[in-house]
Each structure stands twice: as structure tokens, then as C-alpha cells.
Amino acid sequence: MNPVVCKPAVVFPEFEVSQDETVAFISEAFPTSDILPVALKMVRNTEVITRRLSRPLSEIATRSDFCARNTSYINKARALAVLAARQAMDNAGIKPSEVHMVIATSCTGFSMPSLTAMLINDLALSVNTQQLPIAQLGCSAGVAAINIAANHCRAYKNHNVLVVSAELCSYLYHPDDNLLASMVSASLFGDAVAATVVRGVSGRGFAIKKSHSIFLKDTENYIAYDIRDSGFYFRLDKEVMHSIKKVAPGIERFIHEHDDSFSGNKFYVVHTGGKRILDEVVNSLGLNETDIEHSRTSLALRGNLSSASVMDVLKRTFDGQKISPGQSGVMIAFGPGFTTEMSVGYWV
């Protein structure tokens, strides 16, 4: 029996923003910018129709210091994480006393003690619960955390691991950041907190057979933070768009080695990096559009949720009810480094 990733729970903040509102917001924020026409065209091409944000656009447009934003981030992330975690435990059919380890991923704010400690208190988890906070893996952290949880459950077969991904990307917006990539990023990322339980025994969902990491050397500049007194400034190098084809051979080799039905019908849970990233995944891996329909839908309705995105896609896979028991599957996410985190398994 392989560890099973149970049905995730995904919760969202209250402020919904449409693409039209985002276009108007950027137009008002940078009215004299020479790159505004290009930026707006690229925003339209993201195919992000709507997103949920933790703050209204009027507040986001107002300059605030890092301390105020980070304090708000901690309070919001904590509240949403408790809701997501409780739903995830209900989905998995376990009680808080049955959680042996909690992993929390987030790259959009900072706290010490970590969100893991807050969850132990707020959920009344055991005082013996192991903690693992993950901060710097960005979008790839969701799959990395699930894979670490699966490895833990493989070693301790009666254990359950709670994985929580809290990404409130709207707290990274800076009114003075007028770079083209920053304007596009401000229209791409959404806010959400997602949670799932990985079980060592029983459970319905994605059973993980094997996990794998691929690191592209000398690509630290592809996805990074420019850290200033006012906070984290997200930086994305255009070369990241060519990275998928570079890691595709390694992805295919891994699937071939650990999935006997590589050429057969399988499901894909792919992180919603953006339209261009998903296009590259389809082209580089030779997939059909139907293979990533849940990723496309998640991107359109929620934006890129960073480390929480794979859980939103996995939840949609559960709700789609098109997966048959025994059907093989692949989960993939990309992040800073440039790092690819993935796993192969089957539906149970």
C-alpha cells in the first residue's frame, strides 16, 4: 500500500477581482508608463478571468510598510489555514489527534513561530506533532510538501500528515514597482489557502508510488525575490518560459521508469504557472489539452495560487469524477531554483 493524498480543501478570501478590474487598476496605477499598452495586452493574454484577493484593490493601491502588510498576512493566513485544515481532515476522515506531522508552505509572508505552530494550537493537535515549515520553494512547494509527507508515511505506515499551503500573493504588490513583469505578475497571482491529508494507510485519492526532483543549475535568477526595506519584490526572468523544454526529458524518463502505462490513459495534476507555462507543458510532454483541463480552469477562475495551486487542481480532479480506480497519474509543479517537483502514482 502506498501513501494516499486525500481530497484537498481550498478556501479563498472575500475580494473577487475580474480581469477587467485588473486592467483598469493597472491603467490607473501607471497612466504615463511607456510600457502600459504592452502590459495590458499581456494581462489580457494571461487568460485569468477572475481571482480572489485578501485586500480590496483600493487598499492594495495604497503604499504600506512591510510590517503592516506582514502582520495582516499572518492574521489572514492563520484564519484561512484553520478552515482549510479542518475541511481537509474531514475529507480524510481523521481527527486532529490522528495527525502526526504538519507541513506548512508559504512564500508570501513570514512568521516565527511558523504557521505549523499556530495550527497545532488552533486545531488542538498533539504536542508531539512534528513540524516542517517550507518557505523558499515557491510554487513547487506544494508538490514538494506532499512528497515529503508521502515519504514520512512510507516510513511510518500508520501516520497521517497534514499539509497546508498558504499563499496570499496580493501582499507582494508594490505601487512603485513599474516593471513590465511586475505588472503582469500582479494580474496573474491569486490568494488562497489549501490543505490536504496524506495517509499512510487507507484513504481515497492519489496513491504516490515515487517522487522526484529536477534542478536546473545556474538558474537562480529565473524566479526570485528582490528583498528591500519595503518588502519582497517578485522577479521573473523571461528565460523561465524556456525551462520546461529543458526539464521535459527528465520528466519523461522518470515517468517511463516508474509508470508501466506511460502511453496509456492517465490524469495530470499540473501547477498553474501561467498560460505560457501550461502551453510549454503540453508541447514539451506531448499532452492533449484534455489532460490539463483542470489546470486551465483553475488558472482562469483563480489565477496562479503558487504552492496552493496543485491542491486546487487536485480537488478539481476529485470533483470531476472522471478518474477510474487504478488509473495512473502524474503531479508536477515548478518553482525557484529552477526546480521541478513531481510524483507518479495511481487513483484509489
Predicted confidence at residue 250, as pLDDT, reads 94
Predicted confidence at residue 9, as pLDDT, reads 98
pLDDT tens digit sequence for 7-52:
999 999 999 999 999 999 999 988 888 999 999 999 999 999 999 9
Predicted confidence at residue 260, as pLDDT, reads 61
- CATH number, domain at 308? 3.40.47.10
Predicted confidence at residue 123, as pLDDT, reads 98
Same domain, residue pair 166 and 283: no
Among 179, 199, 219, identify where a domain stops.
Answer: 199
Contact indicator for 140, 23 with CB cutoff of 8 Å: no
Tell which phi-psi region holds residue 223, choosing left (phi > 0), alpha (psi between -120 and 50) or beta. beta
Same domain, residue pair 83 and 110: yes
3-state SS class at 136 = coil
Which H or E element spans position 328?
Answer: strand 328-335
Same domain, residue pair 212 and 294: yes
Same domain, residue pair 64 and 168: yes
Among 184, 199, 214, identify where a domain stops.
Answer: 199
Q: Based on the structure, what is the number of domains in the chain?
A: 2
336: cis peptide before it, omega within 30°? no
Same domain, residue pair 155 and 254: no
- DSSP codes of every residue in 231-286: EEEEEE-GGGGGHHHHHHHHHHHHHHHH-TTTTS-EEEEE----HHHHHHHHHHHT
Which H or E element spans position 164?
Answer: strand 160-168
Of 334, 329, 262, give the one whose Cα is nearest residue 304.
334
Same domain, residue pair 306 and 343: yes
Who's near 304: CB < 8 A, 6+ residues apart?
48, 139, 169, 188, 189, 190, 272, 273, 274
Give dist(CA 82, CA 207) in Å, integer: 25
Predicted confidence at residue 324, as pLDDT, reads 87
3-state SS class at 115 = helix
Predicted confidence at residue 262, as pLDDT, reads 46
Same domain, residue pair 87 and 153: yes
Bridge partners for 292 per DSSP: none
Phi, psi dihedrals of residue 84, rounded to the nearest 5°: -65, -40
Same domain, residue pair 81 and 184: yes
Same domain, residue pair 219 and 91: no
pTM, two decimal places? 0.95
pLDDT means per 10 residues, the chain with 348 residues, are: 96 96 92 90 93 94 89 97 98 97 97 97 98 96 98 96 97 89 90 98 91 95 92 90 92 84 74 93 93 96 97 96 88 96 95
Domain containing residue 19:
4-199
Among 148, 183, 199, identify where a domain stops.
Answer: 199
Same domain, residue pair 182 and 236: no
| Cα 221 → chain centroid | 20
3-state SS class at 289 = helix
Give dist(CA 75, CA 95) in Å, integer: 24
Out of 6, 107, 139, 169, pick the active-site residue: 139
Tell which phi-psi region holds residue 190, choosing left (phi > 0), alpha (psi between -120 and 50) or beta. beta
- Does residue 139 carry a catalytic annotation? yes
Same domain, residue pair 224 and 177: no
Bridge partners for 199 per DSSP: 4, 160
pLDDT tens digit sequence for 283-333:
999 999 999 999 999 999 999 999 999 999 999 999 987 888 999 999 999
